[in-house]
Amino acid sequence: MISEVGKCTSYLEAKNYTEFSEFFLLDLSEDPEIQPILFGLFLSMYLVTVLRNLLIILAVSSDSHLHTPMYFFLSNLSFVDIGFTSTTIPKMTVDILTHSRVISYGGCLMQMSLALFFACVYDMLLTVMAYDRLVAICHPLHYTVIMNPGFCGLLVLISWFIMTLVVLAQVILIRRLTFPRATEVPHFFCELVQDLKVAHSDSLINNMYLYLSAVLLDVFPITGFLYFYSKIISFLVRMSSTAGKKKPFSTCGSHLCVVCLFCGTGVGVYFSSAVTSSSQSSTIASVMYTVVTPMLNPFIYSLRNKDVKGVLGRLLSPAASCL
């Protein structure tokens, strides 16, 4: 009986110990003269990211010529870009402005969960878009039948549903860990790998689940992506018409640029976190991953796509004439 009471008491103490914890995030720079520059830089990058992605969503939804599977997936990708950047940048800019680095335990858990969710959904959407390109290029006569609106919506819903389950499981596992009342996180936002490093309790189960989910959610999509594009390339190589190859290469080029940018910076984040203890190198990689990549994606798609550029031009021309 006494032992049971002791266990309950220790559990409640550990729970209170964690739920009243405060996390102190890393400053991007300790130089007070650079703080206003960083604030203006990241605020402007965030506004450009949100506005540009909103324009793509508006363009796809307003023009019937863009009501195709490729642009449907592109608008979902833009929405994920907005969610991903909104998870980290607003908090970071407020911290720079107020010179505060504090985030509550609940806030840290929410930020970590949303960042993980949007990153994983993004990865799944890129793979789905590769499959869409495969069907469009290799099976053009059956494209509208295979990639019908119901099937496209189902692919997106499955991606969101799977990622929701994965993140919920990670949150449940994180909740069992204990953190001190004042925890220094060597990162500018609550990133999962860094949070596990500063936990006071044993995080072996969390790390095992992290590696397992990384294999399932990174290796499988990348394998699928490579398989789809190997089939596309082999099909295009067999084509005799040079003119027929131009449009497929153009549409695939934008997608390949985004994949290389996202996956390259993503791998850089986790490679720098696992291999080196330097917070500076990990921070630089994370800035590229969470800030620069979502900002560049809409530019890559709009600059290389005449349809999107045409619709954006028509949308912006009335606004420009009003000014």
Q: Is the pLDDT score of 10 beyond 50?
A: no
Cα–Cα dist 45/120, whole Å: 22
Q: What are the chain's domains? A: 14-308 (1.20.1070.10)
Report the 10 Å Cβ neighbour count for 145.
10
Show the tokens assigned to 47: 């506004």
Which residue has better confidence, 10 or 101?
101
Show the tokens assigned to 111: 């930020």
pLDDT cut 70: percent of the chain above it: 77
pLDDT tens for 253-297 read 777 777 777 776 666 566 555 555 555 556 666 777 788 888 888
pLDDT-based confidence at residue 83 (cuts at 50, 70, 90): very high
pLDDT for residue 11: 45
Q: Side-chain half-sphere of 67: how many Cα atoms within 13 Å?
A: 7
Question: Residue 258 in contact with residue 133, Cβ under 8 Å?
Answer: no
Task: Give every CB contact of residue 69 below 8 A, 6+ residues apart in sequence.
Answer: 132, 136, 147, 149, 152
Q: Which residue from 65, 55, 59 is spatially nearest to 311, judged by alpha carbons?
A: 59
Q: Is the pLDDT score of 245 beyond 50?
A: yes
Q: Is the pLDDT score of 9 beyond 70?
A: no
Question: Residue 282 in contact with residue 28, Cβ under 8 Å?
Answer: no
Which residue has better confidence, 302 or 44?
44
State pTM to two decimals: 0.83
Q: Is the pLDDT score of 76 beyond 90?
A: yes
Q: Which residue from 29, 166, 25, 176 is spatially nearest to 108, judged by alpha carbons?
A: 25
pLDDT-based confidence at residue 102 (cuts at 50, 70, 90): confident
